[in-house]
Amino acid sequence: MTKEKLLIGYVWSHALPAVGPEDAQKMTHINIAFGHVKDAQVTLPPDHRLDELNRLREYNPRLGILLSLGGWGSGGFSEAAATEEGRRLLAKSAVQVLKECGLDGIDVDWEYPCYSVAGIASQAADKQNFTLLLKEMRRALDEQRKKDGRHYLLTIAAGADQYFIDGTEMDQVEQYLDWVQLMTYDMRGGFNTFTGHHTNLFTSTGDLFRISVDASVNMFAKAGVPKDKIVIGAAFYSRLWQNVPNVNNGLHQMTAASGGYGPMYTELVAEYINKNGFVRYFDQEAQAPYLFDGQTFITYDDEESIRAKCAYLKEQGLKGIMFWEYSCDQTRTLLDTMYTSLF
C-alpha cells in the first residue's frame, strides 16, 4: 500500500479490540481517544486497552499509533501550558507514556486554546502558551529520538473555523508538528437553529454559515500552515434537527431548537437511509448528503461525499484524511471507501 497520503482513524480506547486485520491494514495511523492532562501529567483512562497495540502491529507493522490527549470537555491544558515548569512536566510525562506503551506519537486535542466553551479553563495567554507547549513537546520528543533513533510524531486536532486560528499562532505552531488535523465536522449542529451540513466539502447557496472543508483548508493555509501538512476530517456519525419546516427538503431552514447528535452510520444504514419515511438527498454544491422525512433533518457523510473529499485532498496536495470515530460504522463501508479512493 502506498503511503503518499494518510488515512487516520480516531478509535475510542475501549473499541481497539474491535479493530481487525483488514481495517488495521487500511489505516496508516490510529489516534487512540483519549488520554487526559491532570496536574501537568498525562493520565490514561482505566479502560485504555493499550495492550491491544502489539496485536494491531502484527496486522500492520507500518501502522502508526498515537495517543490523542484531550477531547471535548477535557481540561488541564491551560494550567499546564501557563508555566515553563508545567510545559516541561507535561512533555516529560508524554514521552514517558510513549516509552511505556510503545506508542509512535502524541496528538494534542485541546478544545480550545483561549476558549472555555467546553467548560474548561482558558486565558488570553493560551495563544502564546499553546506555541510554547508544542515547542517543548517537540524538544522532548527529539531528545528521546537521540536515545533510540525513532522519530516520534506530534500532531494536533484543530477546530475548523476562524476561532481556532484567532486563539493560536498557527504560523509558528506548524514547525513543531508533523501534520494538522482539521475537525471538519460538527461545523453546524450543536449551536445552530438553522439546518445545514455538518461535514460539507463546500458551502452551498442559501447557507447562512459559510464554513466548509474547503473554507477551513484555505483559512489554515492563509494562517501559515503548509497544505502538505493539512489533514481534513470526515464523520462516521450524523447531526439532526427536529420539527423542521417541510420546505426545500428541510435544508437551510430555521428551527425552534438547535441541532443535536444523530444516529451513527451503522444505524443510518439499517434504519434511516431511504427507510422509514426518510429520503436521501445529495447537495451537489456542497457535495454532501442529507436525509429528510418531512420533519427531521439529518446531515452525515456517505460514500459519495467521502469520495469527493478524497479527490479534493489529492487535487489540493493535502496530507490526508481522518475520521471520527471508528466504532460508529460497523458496516466498514466508509473506511473501505476512503481506502479505495486514496490507494
Q: Per the structure block, which three cell numbers stand in for 63?
A: 501502522
Q: pLDDT truncated to tens, each residue of the chain (343 aa)?
A: 445 899 999 999 999 999 999 999 999 999 999 999 999 999 998 888 999 999 999 999 999 999 999 999 999 999 999 999 999 999 999 999 999 999 999 999 999 999 999 999 999 999 999 999 999 999 999 999 999 999 999 999 999 999 999 999 999 999 999 999 999 999 999 889 999 999 999 999 999 999 999 999 999 999 999 999 999 999 999 999 999 999 999 999 999 999 999 999 999 999 999 999 999 999 999 999 999 999 999 999 999 999 999 999 999 999 999 999 999 999 999 999 999 999 9
Q: Determine the pLDDT at residue 1.
A: 41
Q: Determine the pLDDT at residue 190.
A: 86
User: Which domains are seen in the chain, by residue range?
Assistant: 6-235+301-342 (3.20.20.80)
Q: Determine the pLDDT at residue 70.
A: 98
58 an active-site residue?
no
- Of these residues, 79, 111, 136, 174, which one is catalytic? 111
- The pTM of this model reads 0.98
